[in-house]
Amino acid sequence: MIIQALKWIGGTDGFLELIDQRRLPAEFVKLQCRDTEALFEAIKTLAVRGAPAIGVSAAYGLVLAMQKLNPSDGLEQGLKVLAKSSQYLASARPTAANLFWALERVRRNAEEFVAGQPEATVQKLREVVLAEANAIYREDVDMCRRIGQNGERFIKEDAGILTHCNAGALATAGEGTALSVMFEAHKNGKKFRVYADETRPLLQGARLTAWELKQAEIDVTVICDNMAAYLMKQGRVDAVITGADRIAANGDTANKIGTYSLSILAREHGIPFYIAAPSSTFDLSIKSGAEIPIEQRSADEVAFFGDIRTVPEGVDIYNPAFDITEARDITAIITERGVIEKPNAGSISGHLR
Ligand code: MRU
């Protein structure tokens, strides 16, 4: 693995160490989260970001929450802390499905443990929570690897690949989703060029994707978001590959704001458009993209470029962090289980069964 975005250090009394992504690429700084409040802040302010990475971090957040228990506390109190802390951590960001998926999985596993072993100690419950968080971490690493292997064939020799935001190692516990496909193609000796949209307003493409690809020695060129159509017109883009934050039952996909416009541009230019995401990003409880909650972020992210105000004071700003790409514009979804061509409700439920 090239970059480790997050790492649990120690046992049940340990802490979560993150690469502080707010400071890349200027500084490579690690951040230690020793309580749920610190982790909540890290998720909210994008020190840790990307749907899978948020999910894995939140699972470890529940290990942190359990550290507040007293040895004399019973299992019921342990489950109460888990329920309350899950709610709290889930409120950090509303769009990425992996956050809710991971919290729910850890909590349900703890409940099953308590139901099966009602005489166990609270320390044993803490160990169960840590073991489940570790399992989620390991599975994420494995899912990323498989996504890379399953999607590699979509990168042809000498191709130009356009990606948006960052769906790399920084966004997961493993090697990423969309970028894992690129890392795998690179490993297999293919030559190709990646165009990384800079991804306004927080520049995850310019700051993070370009940083990762450069380290992997993959040919990468950063473009402003509004240049994609021109590159497509010039014939420089052979495929678009992005990650996802939540995929509805019908295949509509939430990803970083700007992904939707890329999907329309790709359709117009006859360019295949791929989404790479693990099964933990699917939310079959919702029918279509219209039901996916879209995070609205601070106006300051748009009003300032670094420390410089670029929008006049008093002017309204709208800053949705994600948009929805319609399933009909997605050529295929690449998961750890394989590839869903022309995704729709039937093919998705069959794939995930
Ligand atoms: O706001 P962010 O940086 O968390 O948004 C991240 C994305 O949109 C990614 O493309 C998505 O989470 C997939 S990460 C494998």
CATH topology of domain 151-352: Rossmann fold (3.40.50)
pTM: 0.97
Residues making up the chain, counted from first to last: 353
311: CA distance to ligand 1 center in Å?
25
- Read off the pLDDT of residues 303-332 as tens digits, 9 standing for 90 and up: 999 899 999 999 999 999 999 999 999 999
Query: 50: closest CA among 100, 5, 105, 8?
Result: 5
Q: Please report which confidence band the pLDDT of residue 345 belongs to, taking 50, 70 and 90 as the band edges.
A: very high
Please tell me the predicted confidence (pLDDT) of residue 155: 98
Overall average pLDDT of the 129-143 stretch: 98
Cα separation, 245 vs 266, whole angstroms: 20
Residues with CB under 6 A from ligand 1: 46, 49-52, 96, 165, 167, 171-172, 176-177, 204, 242-245, 255-256, 321
Say if residue 92's pLDDT is above 70.
yes
- Read off the pLDDT of residues 251-262 as tens digits, 9 standing for 90 and up: 999 999 999 999
Q: In Å, how far are 76, 85, 126 from 58, measured between CA atoms?
A: 21, 10, 15
Say if residue 2's pLDDT is above 80.
no
Overall average pLDDT of the 214-242 stretch: 98
Determine if the peptide bond prior to 25 is cis (ω within 30°). Answer: yes
187: CA distance to ligand 1 center in Å?
24
Say if residue 274's pLDDT is above 80.
yes
Please tell me the predicted confidence (pLDDT) of residue 16: 98
Cα separation, 243 vs 124, whole angstroms: 37
Task: Round the average pLDDT of the chain to a whole number and report it.
Answer: 97
Query: 100: closest CA among 257, 234, 245?
Result: 245
Q: In Å, how far are 23, 226, 297, 309, 312 from 306, measured between CA atoms?
A: 12, 20, 16, 8, 15
Pick the CATH number of 6-146 from 1.10.3720.10, 3.10.110.10, 3.40.50.2300, 1.20.120.420: 1.20.120.420
Ligand 1: atom nearest CA of 98 is 12
Terminal-residue alpha carbon distance, the chain: 29
Q: Where are the domains of the chain?
A: 6-146, 151-352
What is the 3-state composition of the chain as percent helix, strand, coil, each rounded to the nearest 5? 45, 20, 35
